[in-house]
């Protein structure tokens, strides 16, 4: 192209992507990053330009009375970027928009063009991987920005704004400040709440069976009782999960006494094989990853959240290592199939190749996000070792590599073995599995949501058995079983359910799950998503007053209509008018709710068989009961799940508060009573009653973690309250030396100089001489962390053989190797951490670099308005943070520490979600 400078300006979203692309372009191209969206709807009142302030619609950022005209602003932190891009454009002959190939990328590109207003030719290029070949192909076939895709994405953005900015203020007024509603978010929360309701309604049942350990020759194997007297023995599936009763009378239900009697009788019986069966089967490999299946599998196998999975995948994509990570497609390009088959041949041999190249069909309705599955980029299918990737990046890349390669491998051939065994009138069954040919198992086995489920590639042999064979009984056990309630959702199973129901888009699931956790609707406990009482209250209000907003079918239908808009088959404006301004539209429904919804009723949760109400208060949930015309309340313990709260617990909490604290005895020094109390954060002891009008609080001490309050005696309570202990004065300074217990454990302190006690020291008995010895030792670093003894040594680091230790820190447990520390993810117990997990966490922390500095947020500035709708955003509300209770604020600080490494990486990649830190009561989708 001829021009004054013969320069083409290529604009992408992030600096990492720009750096990678820059290396593939010939002379004459300049690459710049927009850092995500360059403009958006106003996020708070301060963002609204002066000339629109005071207009009612400006609060929404969408003029619903003027064909839903959006008000766009250029955020203050983006003003400099826009100026820099305009300056670069002055010296360019062409603007090439190279944003991501999904709908949001199309929207970002459209906004760029609107803001930059170029006077040079504009072209749009898309590519699903950042490789020289893909970039050259994209430059050779440019197109224009797809207005239908933009319109669909902007309609989605307006819908999310209308829902969030009209329903969320209603929640603030009726339940609590800082809450939010969202088009997809609220449906996801309802799924979690409904599962918790099912768990609460569940009635456990007990049943018994027998397990025999048998010998054929010298080979032992096990068999389980299946029938007695020709009638099948009841198993877990035979019970109604709501009532705990048997669904049918056609089974034998054994109790403990019957099982024991049968056990004794069968011990004297002969054991013989009645029949055997072998059933050959094949297992076909799974399709390559889509956004949804990658999130699910990374959660199962790597224990990564959906948010972390997408963050890491974004980095891998921008570094040119994998194809685009937001896709519904399972299709592989011919070059990818060829590269995979070449790798299989060299690594495993021709026998492990599928006879023909295998191609998969996308089953997801409305699949449109890109045109290929997630796979290693390029034509070589390089392994993680060849790329020298480590840590969590390496683990995720390896997962993608294995899934891709396995898709082109031969089927696995297995034989399932069963043997029916007779002993008197009892029938037992032994099951086994033989792997005749591992096929794709050599590369990849999918994870299981059920932790007790056996992996497919695990062989479970039986000895050679034939009908009529006599067997020897080695052991016979009578086993009791209890039926289990429906499992709570994990991130993996929630993502699977959302996709299965057609709710939202897989590319948004990470931010949705992150939002419901950040808002306090859900707590992650051992990888389970446990809804809170706040989630119950909000879901109840929405179910009663906005049933369509939390209906899965209604939300799925919305997605279908947005797809039709994207395909040019439907009009966006009539749809928005009907949704928001119709006779039963959202606007009118919210107005009715403002008048009719009773705040007390909305903030009340009624749970079956509780004998009390749970209410959402300013400082968290509390139980409320009535007796003899009087109302009694008691705060609920922090972290208790709605399904696990019992009437007995509530009764005890209310009784304890009504009757006052238990008195353990009197302090021999002051004569004041030693009180045993229960707080939101657990049990504690207190010296004396709080005096009315006094500014000083009584001395308090929490019980050690895991201690049962019923076991607490006066002497130990006095020990707890004895801290801090004054041991004496320092011989040189004359200042006091004290012993105390703190966030880092027990310590001694002199004039602000702290030293941790060793494991062999007792904070209650340590004396002045020992304290002086510790203080005389040089410090091991800030906070004396070097002097802290590890909880345990997990193992030797595979890189250098040095120990990987586990410590208890200020913000929870963490692992340490050399100078690198990494926090243990919330919900993972210290005893559960394996060496592999620790090494992965340490590598991720080391790769992320130093924590990001605080105080880098910028202001907002006004911008131009156009007649088009707005782009997707997901900002976090300061009001939400401010509204947190002290307990939740403390939890957020703990979680923030565990996510320090992620924060630095997110800032570096400047992904679209990174632009979501904002101010002031911004409802989220």
Question: Does residue 522 fall inside a structural domain?
Answer: no
Assess whether 669 and 768 both reside in one domain.
yes
Encoding tokens for residue 186? 């609220």
Q: How many domains, the chain? A: 6
Cα angle: 853, vertex 908, 809; to 5 degrees = 50
Question: Does residue 705 fall inside a structural domain?
Answer: yes
Assess whether 357 and 392 both reside in one domain.
yes
Cα angle: 744, vertex 883, 641; to 5 degrees = 70
How many whole angstroms separate alpha carbon 449 and alpha carbon 447?
7
Last residue of a domain, one of 374, 394, 410: 410
Whole domain around residue 90: which residue ranges?
A: 8-154+868-883+907-916
**Cα dihedral 775→776→779→784 (10° resolution):** -20
Angle of helix 291-302 relative to helix 391-406, nearest 10 degrees? Answer: 120
Last residue of a domain, one of 361, 388, 410: 410
Where does the pLDDT of residue 364 fall: very low under 50, low under 70, confident under 90, or very high at 90 and above? low
Cα angle: 638, vertex 614, 700; to 5 degrees = 35
Q: Residue 764: phi, psi to the nearest 5?
A: -85, -15
Q: What is the pLDDT of residues 457-510, one digit of tens each?
A: 677 889 999 999 999 999 999 999 999 999 999 999 999 999 999 898 888 899
Kindly give the residue spans of alpha helices, DSSP state H, lying in 484-551: 491-501, 506-518, 533-545
Q: What is the pLDDT of residues 711-749, one digit of tens each?
A: 888 988 888 888 888 999 999 999 999 998 876 678 999
Question: Does residue 579 fall inside a structural domain?
Answer: no
| pLDDT in the model for residue 540 | 96
Query: Do 313 and 322 contact (CB within 8 A), yes or no?
Result: yes
How many whole angstroms separate alpha carbon 580 and alpha carbon 556?
17
Residue matched to tokens 């929405």: 542
Question: Does residue 200 fall inside a structural domain?
Answer: no
Q: What is the pLDDT of residues 550-594, one digit of tens each?
A: 999 999 998 889 888 888 888 999 999 999 998 889 999 999 999
CA nearest to 457, candidates 465, 466, 472, 446? 446
Where does the pLDDT of residue 845 fall: very low under 50, low under 70, confident under 90, or very high at 90 and above? confident
List the beta bridge partners of residue 631.
626
Question: 369: which residues sit within 8 A by CB, 6+ positions away?
Answer: 102, 103, 291, 326, 327, 328, 329, 505, 506, 507
pLDDT over 70, % of the chain: 86
Assess whether 368 and 473 both reside in one domain.
no
Assess whether 114 and 99 both reside in one domain.
yes
Mean pLDDT of 67-94: 92
How many whole angstroms separate alpha carbon 407 and alpha carbon 373?
11
How many whole angstroms separate alpha carbon 178 and alpha carbon 167?
12
Assess whether 810 and 693 both reside in one domain.
no
Encoding tokens for residue 904? 């630095």
Assess whether 451 and 355 both reside in one domain.
no
| pLDDT in the model for residue 439 | 93
Where does the pLDDT of residue 916 fall: very low under 50, low under 70, confident under 90, or very high at 90 and above? very low
Question: Does residue 565 fall inside a structural domain?
Answer: no
Question: Does residue 754 fall inside a structural domain?
Answer: yes
Mean pLDDT of 892-913: 36
Query: Do 368 and 326 contact (CB within 8 A), yes or no?
Result: no
Assess whether 687 and 778 both reside in one domain.
yes
Question: Does residue 161 fall inside a structural domain?
Answer: no
What are the C-alpha distances in Å from 518 to residues 136, 292, 595, 677, 896?
A: 42, 21, 29, 30, 11
Of 59-68, 522-531, 778-787, the poorest mean pLDDT is in 778-787
How many whole angstroms separate alpha carbon 899 and alpha carbon 311?
12
Angle of helix 491-501 relative to helix 291-302, nearest 10 degrees? Answer: 160
Q: In sequence order, what E strands does 442-577 have?
A: 470-482, 522-525, 528-531
CATH of the domain at 95: 3.40.50.140
- Please name the helix (run of DSSP H) or strand (run of DSSP E) that holds residue 291, with its range, or none: helix 291-302
Kindly give the residue spans of alpha helices, DSSP state H, lying in 7-102: 15-22, 76-90
Active site residues: 324
- The whole-model pTM stands at 0.73
How many whole angstroms separate alpha carbon 722 and alpha carbon 724?
6
| pLDDT in the model for residue 4 | 52
| pLDDT in the model for residue 924 | 39
How many Å is the maximal CA-CA distance in the chain?
100
Mean pLDDT of 629-639: 83
| pLDDT in the model for residue 693 | 67
How many whole angstroms separate alpha carbon 548 and alpha carbon 542?
9
Q: Is the pLDDT of residue 614 over 80?
A: yes
Encoding tokens for residue 336? 């990818």
Assess whether 693 and 733 both reside in one domain.
yes
How many whole angstroms separate alpha carbon 99 and alpha carbon 96?
9
Question: 615: which residues sit within 8 A by CB, 6+ positions away?
Answer: 600, 603, 604, 605, 621, 622, 623, 624, 633
Assess whether 301 and 223 both reside in one domain.
no
Last residue of a domain, one of 644, 659, 674: 659
Question: Does residue 846 fall inside a structural domain?
Answer: no
**What is the number of H-type helices and E-type strands within the chain?**
26, 31
Assess whether 275 and 423 both reside in one domain.
yes
DSSP state of 19: H
Assess whether 253 and 388 both reside in one domain.
no
How many whole angstroms separate alpha carbon 471 and alpha carbon 218?
10
Assess whether 691 and 771 both reside in one domain.
yes
């Amino acid at each position: 192209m001829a021009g004054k400078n013969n320069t083409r300006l290529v604009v992408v979203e992030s600096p990492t992507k720009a750096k990678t692309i820059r290396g593939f372009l010939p002379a004459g191209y300049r690459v710049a990053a927009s850092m995500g969206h360059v403009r958006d709807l106003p996020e708070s009142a301060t963002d609204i330009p002066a000339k629109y302030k005071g207009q009612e619609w400006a609060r929404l950022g969408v003029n619903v009375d003027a064909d839903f005209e959006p008000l766009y602003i250029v955020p203050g932190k983006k003003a400099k970027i826009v100026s820099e891009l305009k300056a670069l454009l002055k010296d360019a002959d062409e603007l090439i928009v190279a944003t991501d190939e999904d709908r949001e990328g199309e929207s970002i590109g459209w906004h760029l063009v609107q803001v930059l207003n170029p006077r040079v030719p504009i072209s749009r290029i898309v590519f699903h991987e950042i490789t020289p070949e893909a970039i050259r192909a994209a430059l050779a076939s440019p197109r224009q920005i797809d207005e239908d895709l933009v319109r669909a994405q902007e309609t989605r953005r307006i819908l999310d704004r209308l829902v969030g900015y009209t329903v969320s203020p209603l929640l603030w007024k009726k339940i609590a400040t800082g809450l939010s509603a969202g088009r997809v978010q609220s449906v996801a929360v309802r799924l979690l709440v409904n599962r918790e309701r099912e768990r609460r309604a569940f009635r456990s049942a007990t049943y018994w069976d027998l397990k025999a350990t048998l010998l054929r020759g010298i080979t032992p194997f096990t068999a389980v009782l299946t029938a007695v007297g020709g009638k099948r023995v009841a198993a877990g599936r035979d019970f109604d999960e709501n009532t705990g009763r048997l669904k049918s009378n056609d089974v034998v239900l054994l109790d403990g006494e019957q099982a024991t009697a049968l056990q004794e009788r069968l011990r004297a019986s002969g054991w013989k094989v009645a029949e055997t069966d072998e059933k050959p089967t094949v297992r076909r490999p799974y399709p390559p990853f889509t956004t949804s299946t990658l999130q699910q599998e990374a959660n199962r196998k790597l224990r990564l959240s959906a948010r972390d999975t997408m963050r890491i995948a974004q980095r891998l994509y921008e570094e040119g290592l994998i194809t685009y990570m937001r896709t519904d497609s399972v299709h592989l390009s011919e070059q990818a199939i060829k590269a995979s088959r070449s790798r299989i041949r060299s690594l495993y041999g021709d026998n492990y190749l599928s006879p023909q190249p295998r191609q998969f069909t996308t089953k997801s309705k409305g699949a449109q996000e890109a045109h290929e599955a997630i796979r290693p980029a390029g034509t070589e299918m390089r392994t993680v070792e060849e790329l020298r990737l480590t840590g969590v990046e390496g683990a995720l890349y390896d997962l993608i590599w294995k899934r891709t390669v396995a898709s082109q491998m031969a089927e696995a051939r297995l034989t399932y073995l069963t043997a029916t065994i007779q002993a008197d009138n009892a029938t037992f069954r032994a099951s086994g599995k033989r792997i005749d040919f591992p096929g794709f198992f050599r590369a990849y086995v999918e994870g299981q949501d059920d932790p007790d489920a056996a992996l497919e590639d695990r062989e479970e042999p039986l000895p050679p058995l034939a009908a009529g064979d006599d067997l020897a009984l080695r052991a016979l056990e009578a086993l009791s079983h209890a039926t289990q309630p429906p499992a709570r959702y994990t991130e993996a199973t929630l993502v699977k359910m959302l996709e299965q129901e057609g709710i939202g888009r897989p590319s948004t699931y990470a931010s949705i799950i992150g939002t419901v956790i950040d808002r306090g609707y859900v707590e992650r406990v051992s990888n389970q998503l446990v809804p809170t009482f706040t989630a119950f209250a909000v879901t109840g209000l929405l179910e009663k007053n906005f049933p369509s907003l939390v209906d899965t079918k209604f939300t799925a239908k919305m997605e279908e209509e947005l797809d039709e808009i994207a395909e040019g088959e439907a009009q966006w404006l009539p749809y928005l008018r009907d949704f928001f301004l119709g006779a039963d539209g959202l606007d009118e429904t919210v107005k009715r709710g403002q008048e009719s919804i009773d705040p007390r009723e909305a903030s009340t949760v009624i749970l079956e068989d509780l004998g009390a109400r749970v209410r959402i208060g300013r400082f968290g949930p509390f139980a409320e009961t009535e007796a003899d015309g009087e109302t009694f309340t008691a705060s609920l313990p922090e972290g208790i799940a709605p399904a696990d709260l019992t009437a007995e617990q509530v009764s005890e909490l209310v009784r304890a508060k009504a009757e006052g604290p238990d008195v353990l005895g009197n302090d021999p020094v002051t004569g004041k009573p030693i009180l045993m109390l229960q707080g939101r954060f657990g049990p504690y002891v207190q010296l004396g009653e709080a005096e009315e009008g006094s500014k000083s609080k009584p001395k308090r001490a929490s019980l050690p973690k895991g201690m049962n309050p019923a076991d607490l005696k006066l002497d130990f309570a006095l020990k707890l309250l004895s801290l801090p202990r004054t041991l004496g004065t320092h011989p040189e300074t004359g200042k006091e030396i004290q012993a105390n217990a703190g966030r880092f454990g027990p310590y001694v302190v002199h004039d602000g100089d702290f030293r941790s006690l060793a494991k062999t020291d007792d904070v209650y008995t340590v004396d002045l001489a020992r304290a002086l010895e510790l203080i005389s030792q040089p410090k091991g670093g800030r906070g004396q962390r070097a002097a802290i003894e590890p909880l345990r040594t997990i193992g030797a680091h595979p890189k250098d053989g040095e120990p990987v230790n586990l410590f208890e820190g200020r913000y929870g447990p963490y692992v340490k190797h050399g100078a690198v520390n990494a926090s243990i993810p919330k919900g993972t117990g210290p005893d559960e951490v394996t060496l592999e997990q620790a090494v992965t966490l340490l590598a991720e922390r080391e790769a992320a670099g130093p924590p990001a500095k605080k105080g880098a947020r910028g202001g907002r500035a006004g911008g131009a308005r156009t007649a088009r709708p707005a782009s997707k955003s997901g900002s976090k509300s300061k009001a939400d943070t401010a509204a947190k209770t002290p307990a939740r604020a403390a939890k957020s600080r703990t979680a923030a520490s565990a996510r320090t490494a992620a924060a630095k990486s997110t800032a570096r990649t400047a992904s679209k979600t990174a632009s979501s830190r904002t101010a002031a009561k911004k409802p989220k989708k």
